[in-house]
Structure 1
Amino acid sequence: MSDEAPTPPPARSRLRRAGGVPAQLATALRTPARTAQPLFAQAPKAWQRLLPHAVVGIFVVTLLPVTITVLTDDYGAAGGWAGALGVAQTVPLLLALTRPLPAWLLVLGADVLGALLLTRADEVGGHAWPWPPMTLIGYLVLMACLGLRASVRTLVGVWLATGAVSLVLALFRPAGTTDTSALLFVLSGTVLALTGALRGLGDARQRIAEQEVISEAERSRRTLLEERARIARELHDVVAHHMSVITVQADSAPYRIAGMPEPVREEFAAIAASARESLGEMRRLLTVLRGDGTNGGGEGTALAPQPGIGRLQQLVEATVRAGQPVELSLAAGAVGVAPPAVDLSAYRIVQEALANVVRHAPGATTRVAVTADEDEVLVLVVNGPARDAVVEVESSGTGHGLVGMRERVRLTGGTLDTGPLPDGGFRVAARLPLGDGAGPTGPVVPDAAKDTNEEGS
């Protein structure tokens, strides 16, 4: 088992699952992380990623011949200039999918050049100037692409630049033409505002999803650290007992063993002094772990003896009195054979498992089995499907459920296997070694799957 907190799913996957079609649209509108990426590169589906290419391609294929035809037939422009302007004003729209700002500069330059050339066209009078209808449509398509990619500051600058260019061109307006400067200024601003708002919606939803992922990771890590601190507080009594025994044995050795040489007496005295100093350091460590008492419970809880396998019968009886049918199978050799850390871990694993059953499968028949041999203690808790409505009726657990089980198993160097059963029940199986090799480096088998028994644990 890794020491890290569980890794949440990616923000983009959570966003898609959480909001359906609106969330997918927001993801599609998200600004690509790299400028070379095409528009909608972050869209979740292939057709959404191809949609901008298809739309812009249709506009280019349509506007190119229409622009050349209108310039030659309606405005009386020369065929060569009309063809060059048609290409310059429409083909750069394809660049707008990846680099909209350079595409805008190219199109704006071509449109300005076209407006100046049209001042000398034979039939410009009575037509729109400086922006013919084809130029208006192409420019608005470009504004849509730019609005979905650029920042607000850039969009405002583009809009103001469009107005300034239109104002300057008004000084060269041919007589008898219809001025379209104000029309382009208003329409381009509207398109930029709408597409910029859509893009901003996508960015906002993305940031919210990413923040939720960060918050969930922090909560998972905090839960893990709190559970480890709680386990450390409980193990203090176990270690303190052994240190006290060492102190007593070292202090009493000169009285129990007659004829002990003076150097040996001094050695035992040094051992006893070191043990007492270690006990003092442990008390200070426990004070730090308990903090203000909000995590460790009241003073009575801190001073109470730590439970073990021998108290499982009392735990099961209390659960049965609460209305939960529980059967306990406790092997005769399982009591008193386990080291204190393993003894405490086995009890807490059963306690957490029963608390989860009461929370998430009330009324389900539950079987608890604890066996032991010379090498390990085996803990098995199996419950059937819930027979009653799932309500919160028990609050004596730690609130950390499977996280606490994994940490306790990791502490002893054992393995943990949890997961749902085919009939809707749940299984918790733990193996706790009794040998000297038990320690936090032992493997933990991840739970095969998680169902509602883990939620809220």
Structure 2
Amino acid sequence: MSTSPPHGPPPPPVTDGLASAARRNLRELAHRLAHPSHPATPLFADAPKRRQRLLPYVVVLALAAIFVPVTITVLTDQYEVSGGVAGALAVAQAAPLLMLAHRPLQAWWIIFPADVLGAVALLGYPVHRYDVWPWPPPTLIGYLFLLLALALRETRRTLISVWVTTGAASLLLHLISPDRSNGSALLLVILGAVVLLIGAALRERGDAQRRLVEQETISEAERAQRTLLEERTRIARELHDVVAHHMSVITVQADSAPYRISGLPEEAREEFGTIAASARESLAEMRRLLTVLRSDGTEGERAPQPGLDRVQQLVEATVRAGLPAELSLAADLPGVPQAVDLSAYRIVQEALANVVRHAPGARTRVSVASDGEHLTVLVVNDRAEQPGSPLETTGTGHGLVGMRERVRLTGGTLDTGPLPDGGFRVAARLPLAPVPPPTSEDS
């Protein structure tokens, strides 16, 4: 007769699981109490003002200066403890308060055993009617300050470990002498929980605010970068229109040269054909690139690009919008390259838009002049007539990004900034001659 094989050893009793869980929790508690969750940096070390950074040191100095003599006085007068023992207990319980600014958990390892030792030492002295045991008033209040410092620096698990250890010590001391215990053991547990909750809430609120500021800083940097990229894309589209015009002229001239010039040798005809083919290939490549850049498909980008000949219309439209503006446009401007022509118009357009947004009603002067080598564009506005009602109360400076990019494109310089009378000035100096590309020696 066969018997079935055994199915393995029986499961361990429940008590083994509870014991292992208890050991695991005790190890976790000991680890949390032995390892601070932050480096030994002072509280408020990142504060922007010096007095804020010094405040924790002033507070801990005041606490130590107050609690050391008060503890000695209470122990000697109320509990009839000898002066030497009272002084030793006071130093052990109150002097480590000086560490609260940068090492509160290490201070807890000194103060907590000293408080327990003090409670045990008081058992050897006579009981008076108004004695508070196991935690005398200076000990209890100083310990609450210690818990507050811990709550501002440590994690939730560490705070729970401290509170559980404090509650266990209070319970043990109450069981040792229940007749002498008169409520301070329970009071410390309750008040300690309240202080830890308040301190932890303040710490988490500060952490959330710091994370929010960091996120806003990152978002602002991303917005600035996106604005820069959008402006560069817009400039690229406009440059296509400028370059495509010249490439089209080259193509037409190269194609028509054999018909306009008689007697050309065959090599010259082939050279003109090669030039026309290269120009057409370049135009096709630029159109493919423009198709990618014009992903929005708007038809407004296909309109002829404006220039200095339309600055007068731009200023008149601004005047009709309620902004008193004056224009000084030189009549004898030399041949202006298309890139410079378009950049000058865009700079005036953006500067006037900024005046409308940030200084409504301010008198504005627009000047465009040339010395033969450079084109100078100057837009200056006075203080707003109604300073309290700007259309936009804050500015990101993104409008200036486009100006800088256009000036950099043409190899010019840009100077912007507020004026002493409350106005603002935008001055651009654009070269009329093409800027040579950087050589390998310059890079």
- TM-score bracket, shorter-length normalisation: 0.7 to 0.9
> Which residue of structure 1 aligns with residue 126 of structure 2?
123
Q: How does 1:315-334 map to 2 (within 5 A)?
A: 315-334=314-333
Match of 1:159 in 2: 163
Distance in structure 1 (CA, Å) of the matches to 2:416 and 2:93? 65
- 3-state DSSP of counterpart to 2:379: strand
Question: Structure 2 matches for 1:223-262, cutoff 5 A?
Answer: 223-262=227-266
Inter-partner Cα distance in structure 1 for 2:70 and 2:408: 73
Alignment partners' CA distance in 2, 1:156 and 1:115 = 23
- What one-letter code is carried by the residue in structure 2 that aligns with 1:123? P
1:200 aligns with 2:204: yes
8 Å contact kept, 1:74–1:123: no
Whole-angstrom CA distance in 2 between matches of 1:43 and 1:388: 37
> What SS does structure 1 have at the residue aligned with 2:249?
helix
- Name which of 104, 126, 134 aligns with 1:100: 104
| Per-residue deviation, residues 299-334 of structure 1 (Å, max 9, x unmatched) | 1x2221112222323333444444544433322321
The question of whether the paired residues in 1 share the 8 Å contact of 2:174 and 2:181 is answered with no
Q: Alpha-carbon deviations, 1:376-406, whole Å to 9, x = none? A: 111223334444786769xxxxx95333222
- Name the residue aligned to 1:340: 338
Aligned to 1:18: none
Change (3 A) 1:315 1:43: closer
Root-mean-square deviation (Å): 3.1
- Which residue of structure 1 aligns with residue 277 of structure 2? 273
The partner residue of 2:151 within 147, 150, 169 is 147
Equivalences for residues 19-168 of structure 1 within 5 A: 35-72=39-76, 74-77=78-81, 79-119=83-123, 121-124=124-127, 127-168=131-172
CA change 1:52–1:350 in 2 (3 A) is closer
The CA deviation string for residues 350-372 of structure 1, in whole angstroms up to 9 with x for no partner, is 22233334444455444332222
- Contact persistence 1:316–1:328 (CA under 8 A): yes
| CA displacement 1:410-432 (0-9 Å, x = unmatched) | 21111122334444443322111
Larger RCO: 1 or 2 (CA < 8 Å, sep 6+): 1
Shift of 1:162: 1.0
Cα contact 1:125–1:174 (8 A) shared by 2: no
Q: CA deviation at 1:99?
A: 0.5
Alpha-carbon distance change, 438 to 321 in structure 1, aligned in 2, over 3 angstroms: farther
Query: Is the CA contact 2:60–2:99 (under 8 Å) kept in the aligned structure 1?
Result: no
Of 228-237 and 60-69, more deviation after overlay is shown by 60-69
Indicate if the aligned counterparts of 2:151 and 2:196 stay in contact, CA closer than 8 A: yes
Deviation string for 1:234-255 (max 9, x for gaps)?
1110011122122223333333
**236-245 or 149-158: which moved more?**
149-158
Which of residues 210, 213, 219 is equivalent to 2:217? Answer: 213
Paired residue type of 1:220: A
Distance of aligned partners of 1:161 and 1:270 in 2 relative to their CA distance in 1, 3 Å threshold: farther
User: 1:40, 1:421 → 2: CA distance?
Assistant: 38
Per-residue deviation, 1:340: 0.8
**Rounded Cα–Cα distance in structure 1 between residues aligned with 2:194 and 2:99:** 22
Pick from 427, 430, 434 the counterpart of residue 429 of structure 1. 427
The CA deviation at 1:44 is: 4.2
Q: Distance in 2 between matches of 1:346 and 1:231?
A: 13
> Which segments of 5 or more consecutive residues in structure 2 lack a partner in the other structure?
1-36
Higher deviation after alignment, 101-110 or 36-45: 36-45
Q: Following the alignment from structure 1 to structure 2, what is the Cα–Cα distance between the partners of residues 85 and 256? A: 111
Which residue in 1 is equivalent to 2:410? 412
Distance 2:76 2:360 in 1: 83
2:311 corresponds to: 312
Q: Structure 1 residue 34: deviation in Å?
A: 6.5
Change (3 A) 1:423 1:94: closer
Describe the SS at the equivalent of 1:428. strand
Decide whether the 8 Å contact of 1:100 with 1:145 is kept in 2. yes
Q: Is the 8 A contact 1:411 1:439 kept in 2?
A: no
State the Cα distance separating 1:80 from its structure 2 match.
4.3
**Residue type of the alignment partner of 1:404:** G
Describe how 1:374-389 pairs up with structure 2 within 5 A: 374-387=372-385
SS at match of 1:213: helix
Distance of aligned partners of 1:62 and 1:352 in 2 relative to their CA distance in 1, 3 Å threshold:
closer
Equivalent residue for 1:444?
Answer: none
Instruction: Give 1:350's aligned residue.
Output: 348
Amino acid at match of 1:437: V
Q: Kindly indicate whether the alpha-carbon contact (under 8 Å) linking 1:412 and 1:440 is maintained by their aligned counterparts in 2.
A: no
Comparing 136-145 and 326-335, the one that deviates more: 326-335
CA change 1:352–1:141 in 2 (3 A) is closer
Equivalent residue, structure 2, for 1:27: none
Asked if the contact 2:133/2:180 (under 8 Å) is kept, the reply is: no
Q: 1:234 to 1:169 in 2, by over 3 A?
A: same
Is this contact kept in 2: 1:125–1:176, CA < 8 A?
Answer: no
Q: Aligned AA for 1:407? A: E
Sequence identity, in percent? 66
Q: Does 1:303 align with 2:307?
A: no
User: Given that residues 340 and 432 in structure 2 are in contact (C-alpha distance below 8 angstroms), is that contact kept between their aligned partners in structure 1?
Assistant: yes
